[in-house]
Amino acid sequence: MQSQTDVVVVGGGVTGTAIARELSRYQLDVVLVEKSPDVCTGTSKANTALIHAGFNADPDKQKGRLNVRGNELYHERIQHELDVPIEWRGAMVVATDESERPKLEELLAKGQDNGVDGLEILEREQLLEKEPHLTDDAVAALWAPTAGIVNPFELTVGFANNAVENGASVELEAEVTDITKTDEGFTVETAKGEIDADIVINAAGLYADEVSKMVGVDDFEITPRRGEYYLYDKQFDIDIDTTIFPVPTEVTKGIVVTPTDEENLLIGPNAQEIDDKRDKATTRQGLDKVLEGAQKTVPDLTKQDVIKEFAGLRPAIKETGDFRIQIEEEVPGFINAAGIQSPGLASAPATAELVVDLVEEVRGDLEEDPAFDPNYSGPPKVRHMSHEERAALIEEDPRYGQIICRCETVTEGEIRDAINQPVPAQTVNAIKRRVRPGAGRCQGGFCGPRVIEILSEELDVPMTEIKLEEEGSELLTDEIKQPLLEKSREGSEVNADD
């Protein structure tokens, strides 16, 4: 790892990677340090993945203003620049009783004040035309066509890869353990060695309070607020096309029912304050509440065809309920991007824009790098290709004809691409985040051994050293026996008509 840089960004979630990419537009040396073996292993990997339209955003709060600007930036730039799945499916807030109609009117007015385009109130018949599975109790809804869904893994990896392509460095397994203020700037101690920097940007998610304390800024705490989910199989026969919210109350936004970018159905999250920042366990009670909440708008939902339950932790600053993105005046050059709870994903490009302004405030004018290229292309996705495109790709490289994950139609070529990206996938989960083997119905039961074998070949380490995710998560105590690998290869050629 280099020992000197202009800017260190701490944390490789969607916030830190978006910031690193935005800084790579300028003639600045940028190093992002992440404690895990991959980016997108914190809150950015477990959320509802909505690019909120901003109709419920509070303009008096940083998170409200950045949500609205973030949504604009996804429309204007990000969807064109990064090769990341974003779908503008729209969102509806469904009133199930006439008494809730005034709340719809209130949200409509608030959204219009925020400059959100296309908002309108839809009546029952129009709603049922859009979403036939909606409850019979639906009376009207606020419709927000500018709301979207995004793949949060590919988004975060896309920001990180594009930052590296533009000259930034991403150091994985480089946990920041201390930061010392020096006359020239900062010395950042990491698990990979020391690095001197003029500016430090803290985007450490749930741990942002602890990183901030390292420089003596200790006037806020991050409280984890857990949200639980059910994820349904793609074959599920309840088709939902848009994101469905109930009418929010003072206490909660309610349980969302939404498709994902890969056509699974997702329901959740609830909200529960907890003490332990590592506690991502789901609870029976919480999940029951999630299903009950989802049935309020889509009563046909059951637990049948659920393929996964999971939880994410919102990094909330309870006292303000807001983001804390600011230069810390008592430590010039230290910028916090902390308390990035929801809508942190929707806000990420705007958060990055704001942080660049703050860096400019610290350093003076930033000079643009004429070589900056905002465009990033990910590996080919065989499952989304036409027959002709598949045939041409397989002709070029037969490894795109070898299916490793049958549930998600992921080929050997795509897995090898993931391992050889600018920010390389080095664990089983890092590959799953980038190209999806193991994300389908069998959850890796069939393809797991082959993914381990390919990782072992590409990284040139024994299979017993291949990890699921963090240090200590090695999956095997012994090499996989050849007959088992042969078995998982059987019948795995791509049928170009699939």
Closest CA relative to residue 211, chosen from 418, 420, 15, 424: 15
- Kindly state whether residue 62 participates in binding ligand FAD, applying the rule CB under 6 A: no
Which of 20, 50, 92, 231 forms a contact with ligand FAD (CB under 6 A)? 50
Distance CA 422, CA 108 (A): 43
Q: Which residue, judged by CB position, is nearest to ligand FAD in the bound state? A: 344
Segment contacting ligand FAD (CB under 6 A): 103-111, 341-349, 410-418, 439-447?
A: 341-349
Distance CA 204, CA 82 (A): 23
User: Given the DSSP bridges, would you call strands 140-144 and 120-123 parallel, antiparallel or unpaired?
Assistant: antiparallel
- Kindly state whether residue 355 participates in binding ligand FAD, applying the rule CB under 6 A: no
* 343 cis-preceded (ω within 30 degrees of 0): yes
Whichever of 5 and 341 has its CB closer to ligand FAD, that residue is 341
Distance in Å, CB of 447 to ligand FAD, minimum = 25
- Kindly state whether residue 202 participates in binding ligand FAD, applying the rule CB under 6 A: no
Distance CA 153, CA 233 (A): 19
Distance in Å, CB of 67 to ligand FAD, minimum = 7
- Kindly state whether residue 36 participates in binding ligand FAD, applying the rule CB under 6 A: yes
Distance CA 450, CA 470 (A): 20
- Kindly state whether residue 14 participates in binding ligand FAD, applying the rule CB under 6 A: yes
User: Given the DSSP bridges, would you call strands 272-273 and 4-10 parallel, antiparallel or unpaired?
Assistant: unpaired
Whichever of 342 and 429 has its CB closer to ligand FAD, that residue is 342
Binding mask 245-284 for ligand FAD (x = CB under 6 A): ------------------------x---------------
Q: Could you confirm whether 133 is annotated as catalytic?
A: no
Q: Report how far apart, in Å, the C-alpha atoms of 130 and of each of 48, 52, 124, 236, 456 are.
A: 21, 19, 10, 18, 48
**Total chain residues near ligand FAD (CB under 6 A):** 40
- Kindly state whether residue 93 participates in binding ligand FAD, applying the rule CB under 6 A: no
What is residue 469's three-state secondary structure? coil
Distance CA 33, CA 203 (A): 10
Whichever of 225 and 416 has its CB closer to ligand FAD, that residue is 225
Distance in Å, CB of 73 to ligand FAD, minimum = 13
Distance CA 199, CA 294 (A): 45
* Catalytic positions: 52
Residues that bind ligand FAD (CB under 6 A): 10-16, 33-36, 41-44, 47-50, 52, 175-176, 203-207, 211, 227, 269, 312-314, 340-346
